[in-house]
Amino acid sequence: MYVVKVPAKKARSPRPTLTRESVLAAALVLADHHGLDALSMRKLGQALGVEAMSLYNHVANKDDVLDGMVDLVMGEIHVPVGRPWRDALRERSISAHDVLLAHPWAAALIESRLSPGPQRLAHHNALIGVLREADFPMDLAYRAFLTLDSYIYGFILQEVNWPFTRAERPDVVTAIEPMVTMEAHPHLIAMMSYVMDSSREELAAEGAGGAYRAEFEFGLDLILDGLAAALGARR
């Protein structure tokens, strides 16, 4: 009597369970690692192990994905409440700098999206609340809000798009030195010398990967000083 052995069927890998949250989280990782230009519904589907069409059960389209990504990033930025206004604004601004630096594509995207999500709305409401609870008149609160965000996003856009790292600054200065003369550009030469020296000191203290935190905080404190003076003049 012969026994016929039927080969066991190979178990299929379970299909990934998709949710809106998992789709947006994967889009965030894809953009962080490869840039926003690399993000497409096809590549997003590949990253999740599904066909692109499956994504449309959870997101309407690519614009919906982008709006969702913006909201995730905004949710990472901390707005402390119940603190003195200057401390709260400073902490929030530094948090925004760090979060946007971790997602280098996000600053430009946030400023280009018109559909605010719940995290973005809550963030802005909390920020305005900090100002209003500190007795900022509405017009001054509006100007403070606008000035701070203009500074934060502008600084980040420059920082992430700078064509060289801080570690490379001495090499850049050396490369342009032949084009600069003491007779024609004495102030520029003095600045270049400072940049060379400060770059070495900063790198020795913080390491080559450090962000421009000191420069960011310097400008931030100037703005906060100005807001304190403006608020004092209204009282």
Instruction: State the pLDDT at residue 12.
Output: 56
Does 124 lie in the same domain as 111? yes
Tell whether pTM > 0.85: no
Smallest CA-to-CA distance from 214 within 227, 198, 226 is with 198
Q: How many CB atoms are located within 10 Å of the residue 136 CB?
A: 21
- Model confidence band, residue 214 (pLDDT cutoffs 50, 70, 90): confident
Asked, for residue 24, whether it belongs to a domain, the answer is yes
Asked, for residue 6, whether it belongs to a domain, the answer is no
Domain count, the chain: 3
pLDDT for 174-195, tens place per residue?
788 888 888 899 898 888 888 7
Q: Are 102 and 156 in contact (CB under 8 A)?
A: no
Does 172 lie in the same domain as 152? no
DSSP string, 131-199: HHHTT--HHHHHHHHHHHHHHHHHHHHHHHH-SS-GGGHHHHHHHHGGG--TTT-HHHHHHHHHHHHHH
Instruction: State the pLDDT at residue 200.
Output: 60
Does 193 lie in the same domain as 116? no
Give Cα 209 distance to the centre of its chain: 16
pLDDT for 31-71, tens place per residue?
999 999 999 999 999 999 999 999 999 999 999 999 999 99
At residue 209, does pLDDT exceed 50?
no
